[in-house]
Amino acid sequence: SIVALALPEVDNYRPRLKGQLSSVERIKQAYFSLENRSPEDYIAMVKELGDALEKGIARQNEVRSLLVKAREEENDEAYQKYRNELRDLQRESDRLVREIGYKHTGEEIDGADLLAALGMSEMNMMSEADSANAERKQLRRAVLTSLPKVEMPAAPEGLNKDQVKAWKTDQSNDYKTYRSLIAEMARASELESPARRGHFLREFGQSDREVIENAADNASVPQALNLLNGPMVEALTNQFAVFGRRLTEAGTPEEKTRMIFQAMLTREPTARELDLVKAEVAANGDRAYEGVVWSLLNTQQFLFVQ
């Protein structure tokens, strides 16, 4: 995948882990704040929550049906209208849950956390509470919440003091560019779902999760613009990326070409492809490799590896 070509330790990289652990802690706190409630208070709160949610869910289901209809009819104006209404309804439901939670516990509790706490069993909660610290230490050893710092290459020999300084500045700027390019890269399972608008996954059909079966597989102008002008090629060919470092370390143009085809298409280049790339390198120098990567990124062979 593109992510595996750009990031080191990609299978162990979980940028959202700290936030997920914080969410677990908040749910635990909500659970423990409910633990001392009397059965009467607990039942009264659950009933009040049920009544409040029932009213909102009925209208939310109606709006979801209208959303699906608007999407099928390709009525963008109606789709946006019902989408905004659905979000307002969801915000109102969350507000009601928070107010009811505060009324019965005297604490500010996030609506989603309160509902999650109500759905937990006491056995699971006690088990998690006893082993929380041990699990957290194991998770920190097993996964990365931030990418490891890369080792800067040594300066080329034969440079004077000023040239070395300029070279190090260029390396530092190149690394900053790389970090900015991969800032929102990770395995899809480790990203917020749905991804924010404009993210590569959203542009290429990821569902917004507002209605069922909402993913899209049709081509679009944003997709074309993303492939034409997006940061993917630069992220891959940057010398600090996994792919880019291998490209930099490869020796001859033929070695570089073979590495590109092996990494992106899992096959060797044909004799004709080697000749084409050789001609491009002769005409444009090392910049030609970015064009080769961009070309392969847009092939059916990259999308459907054989």
Residue-wise pLDDT tens digits, 16-29: 677 777 777 777 77
Decide: helix, strand or coil at residue 257.
Answer: helix
63 membership: H or E segment, kind and range = helix 39-72
Task: Say how far apart CA 293 and CA 236 lie, in whole Å.
Answer: 8
pLDDT at 137 over 60: no
Q: Cα 281 to the chain's mean position, in Å?
A: 34
Work out the angle between the directed axes of helices 76-105 and 17-35 (0-180°, nearest 10): 50
Give the residue carrying structure tokens 């070409």. 257
pLDDT at residue 135 in the model = 46
**Average pLDDT over all residues of the chain:** 78
pLDDT at 289 (0 to 100): 92
Type of residue found at 134: A
Assess whether pLDDT exceeds 50 at residue 104. yes
CA 7 and chain centroid, separation: 13
pTM: 0.57
**Residue in the structure block whose two tokens are 């009467």:** 40
